[in-house]
Amino acid sequence: MVIWGGTFVATKVALKEVQPETVVFLRFAMGVIILAAGVQFRGQWQSISRKDFWTLAGLGLLGISFHQWLQSTGMVTSAASTTAWIVASSPVFIAILGWLVLREKSSWMQMGGIALAFLGVLLVVSRGNLQVSNIGRIGTMGDLLILISAVNWAVFSVLSRAILKRLPAALTMFYVIFFGFCFSSLLFFIKTGVGDVAHLSGNGWLAILVLGVFGSGLAYIAWFDALQNLSANQAGVFLNIEPLVTMLMAFLILGEPITWASILGGAVIIAGVWMVNRRPAVEN
């Protein structure tokens, strides 16, 4: 989560010089190499079934290509700290999926937590201006894309649980990122082209290295290791660390202001997530 908190800032730095498709392409080109090395180091190479092949390809399309396109494109107009706070609402969507798909029971506290988390998101994207006259004009198109990415990440996390029961974490993530990289490559070559890479400066390449080696390599291995040992809800709670890191780094590196709306909205989001994931008291 600490690494991913920094990747939002690195993405903003890279997007000043190249297109979103270029950022995603270069990021996951490096990620594939790092993950392949991780699988080799752990000695986890093994063949996969045809069913798992298509499942991993689907997860790659959903959790890598589509998800990173949403975030990279959204961050063209959405601030790094705003993005991180919106993404922090993902555990709420994970819980909602549990209720809708798995028919899990929900308490009044959990329902209140959902409402509270959404209020926090509104506070963040509106910069604290929640007047009725502004409803419908709150936030940017980028903020909307980031919100969609939060829902998409919840779907990806829930769907990933099944295959993690059959395959090692690093191997699973290698295939997911490999397929995601393949799909992203098509968009990069068709829409943007290799000429866009020449626009990267030294700082731009440093940002891409942070995204590729750490954000798309080491952090993804850690995330899937966590999902093998924790429930999706338990792992999702750690997303609360991410926006705090982003807000601080965005202030120090990008000069993004730390506003009362960000602090209050972020606190409300975390409170809502805590309510949603709070374990009910056990009666004696």
- Separation between Cα atoms, residue 11 and residue 183, nearest integer Å: 20
Q: Is the pLDDT of residue 60 over 80?
A: yes
Q: What is the pLDDT averaged over residues 164-186?
A: 88
Sign of CA dihedral 137, 270, 250, 62: negative
* Average pLDDT of the residues of the chain: 83
CB atoms within 10 A of CB 256: 19
CB 25 within 8 A of CB 183: no
- Does this model's pTM top 0.85? My answer is no
Predicted confidence band of residue 284 (pLDDT cuts 50, 70, 90): very low
Residue predicted with more confidence, 123 or 179:
179
CB atoms within 10 A of CB 63: 23
Predicted confidence band of residue 280 (pLDDT cuts 50, 70, 90): low
Q: What is the pLDDT averaged over residues 247-276?
A: 84
